[in-house]
Amino acid sequence: MDTTLQDPLVGQVLDSRYRVDARIAVGGMATVYRALDTRLDRVLALKVMHPTLAADGSFVERFIREAKSVARLAHPNVVQVFDQGTDGSYVYLAMEYIAGCTLRDVLRDRGALQPRAALDILEPVLAALGAAHRAGFVHRDMKPENVLIGDDGRVKVADFGLVRSVDTVTSTTGAVLGTVSYLAPEQIEHGTADPRVDVYACGVVLYEMLTGGKPHAGDSPAQVLYKHIHEDVPPPSATVPGLPYALDELVAAATARTPDIRPQDAVALLALVREARAGLSDAQLDAVPPQAISAEHDSAQDRTSVIPRSLTVPRLLPVNPVDDHAGVDGAGVDRTSRLEAPPAPPRRLSRPRRGLVTVIAAVLVVFGIGAGVWYINSGQFTRVPPLLAKTEAQAKERLEQDGLDVKRVEREYNDTVKRGTVIRTDPKAGARIRSNDSVTLTISLGPEIVRVPDLTGRPLDKAQDLLKKNALEPGMVTREFSDSVDKGTVIRTEPGAGTKRHAGSAIALVVSKGSPVDVPDVTGEDLDSARSDLQDAGLQVKIAPQRVNSEYDKGQVALQTPKGDSEAAEGDTVTLTLSKGPEMIEVPDVVGDSVDDAKRTLQDAGFEVDVDRGLLGLFGDTVKKQSVDGGATAPKGSTITITIR
């Protein structure tokens, strides 16, 4: 079932511009949607911060920093940010939409890659990061999830949400932001980050592409963090025999635990990558790796998260646990200094020798127990291979190679998985299964395409119901005047009737307000007269609870909404605000002042000024008289005439 139908944003229009069509992905800090920019008529990706985080100023600041930072990176391998804004509780980024998949999807499906493919992906990633590093930024969260691979083969780096200026990187005491499997030792120990932490992460990503698995694994994040600090990343050839030594050296250089030994930034690492590639033969670059490591997983260690420093800093244990008081301060806090290593892995039970197996089998036969069943059973199980995105034929062939049958093939529509390829298996990839058992394949029919029905003249609620019956979602509702379509019924849809759309797409509705009515101007009229004029025009009348000072007499209409001489729909309401009468203010005494000074004084007090020079005042510049004496009161905004002699 497509869960995007339950997402409250799907079908809405953010900021009166971006129509949200479908949910693409959900992360720990934001959700990404496919949307349409209705102004420029282009598809884009909307990254919307979770509303619960939008109240946190630091998260909003990081979100806005991402937009500003990436906007400065005009690079073909960086996902472009077009716009940033807010709409109510939603804070969003409008970004370039890349139709394709992530590097994580590729690794999950294929496991280890050929060296040529791994370097073909790594080089544009380093080019993008190099542009960021030379512009003064550090990504801080490089991982396969943030490497996008378009259907056209383009590679782009996404999610600069943790980006920081190189000049502002400092130690953090509260927490470390990032993804456990790709954190550099200095990030874990000190919370510091410069371009070399991105170099380290790229080294881990290269190792993962070459081997299909991560260099450091553990049962908890703390164990993985401990290994990053205390253990070197092993050479890829230890997992995939036959990999060239040059690739081992490349991974070792990028993942050196001491930052000073690593290349200083992505540009320097890119130079090493190109040098290593130049020294490899075609046979070495195109060597097919064994698919021994399954990359099918969903680990919380792959997610960007706020990691408490209590996990990143190794805990301290007492040197002498017998003495309850040794190394403990007055607060009862242990101050000794022995590091606690992760628990040792459980010891493997040694396999019974062949002679012992024979003896046990003989004993079982004596007691009437099927020794053959006990002995053969250890080879009766296998695991379901990863088949995601493989064609139906490829999936069946792979299952046959593993001794498995296809139980049945189911088909369903899917917006993201290519038509004719595997969406999922039952049991799922990696599940333990008997070697002669069968697997159910679910194959994508591609996106379900439906036609937008003709809703012209239908009442709004009936039109919305009909859209749902046609596997579409009612979208934004706007209203406009129409002389030909009854009020409250649909004028048209956007997109129009007959247009083909993916099932679940939101369809905007334009609803009629009926024929327009000219709103009479009733300002200055008494209430009864104004009410009569408006009702005769087919409009309703509402009186605002508060009154205002105005040029009109008390009880007359001072303001109206909508204004006079505008258009409204028949039956719409016009709100009238009544006058309290003009505001009376004291008139300044300007007799004897120059013309300019008198005008300035009266205007500053809130009056209009009229100058009467007459025949005798043509050449004068002194006020001899004013129409309202100084010290008296007059309506604010009224005109005071000054006479010049």
Predicted confidence band at 4 (pLDDT cuts at 50, 70, 90)?
A: very low
The reported pLDDT for the residue numbered 178 is 59
DSSP 556: B
SS3 568: strand
Q: What CATH architecture is 516-578? A: 2-Layer Sandwich (3.30)
d(C-alpha 423, C-alpha 419), whole Å: 10
The model's pLDDT over 527-586, given as tens digits with 9 standing for 90+, comes to 999 999 999 999 999 999 999 988 899 999 999 999 999 989 888 899 999 999 988 999
d(Cα 215, Cα 134) in Å, to the nearest integer? 29
Secondary structure of residue 512 in the 3-state scheme: strand
- Say if domain 584-644 classifies as CATH 3.40.50.11140: no
Domains 449-512 and 584-644 fall in the same CATH topology: yes
pLDDT exceeds 50 at position 298: no
Q: What is the pLDDT of residue 26?
A: 81
- Hey, how many other C-beta atoms are within 10 angstroms of the C-beta on 388? 18
Q: Do 59 and 29 meet the contact criterion of CB atoms below 8 Å apart?
A: yes
* pLDDT at residue 318 greater than cutoff 80: no
Catalytic residue annotation = 141
Asked if the model's pLDDT at residue 312 lies above 60, the reply is: no
Of residues 472 and 290, more confidently modeled: 472
pLDDT classification of 291: cutoffs 50, 70, 90:
low
Contact 121, 149 (CB under 8 A): yes
CATH topology of domain 102-318: Transferase(Phosphotransferase); domain 1 (1.10.510)
Indicate if the pLDDT at residue 441 is higher than 90: yes
Give 489 or 191, the one with higher predicted confidence. 489
Identify the pLDDT of residue 526. Answer: 95
Task: Retrieve residue 140's tokens.
Answer: 């801080």
Q: Which candidate, 508, 452, 506, 515, places its Cα nearest to that of 480? A: 515
Instruction: Confirm or reject CATH 3.40.50.720 for domain 1-97, answering yes or no.
Output: no
User: Mean per-residue pLDDT for 342-370?
Assistant: 36
Q: Report the percent of the chain where pLDDT is more than 70.
A: 80
DSSP string, 58-116: HHHHHHHHHHHHHHT---TTBPPEEEEEEETTEEEEEEE---EEEHHHHHHHH-S--HH
Q: Taking the CA atoms of the chain, what radius of gyration do you get in angstroms?
A: 37
Q: Does residue 144 surpass a pLDDT of 90?
A: yes
Q: How confident is the model at residue 524 (pLDDT cuts 50, 70, 90)?
A: very high
Report phi then psi at 94, rounded to 5: -100, 120
Q: Cβ distance 202 to 125 under 8 Å?
A: yes
Is the pLDDT assigned to residue 127 strictly greater than 80?
yes
Q: Is the pLDDT of residue 310 over 50?
A: no
In the chain, what are the domain boundaries?
1-97, 102-318, 449-512, 516-578, 584-644
Q: To which H or E segment does residue 227 belong?
A: helix 221-230
Q: How confident is the model at residue 115 (pLDDT cuts 50, 70, 90)?
A: very high
- Domain 449-512 in CATH 3.40.50.880? The answer is no
- CB proximity list for 38: less than 8 A, separation 6 or greater: 13, 17, 18, 19
What mean pLDDT is predicted for residues 227-256? Answer: 92
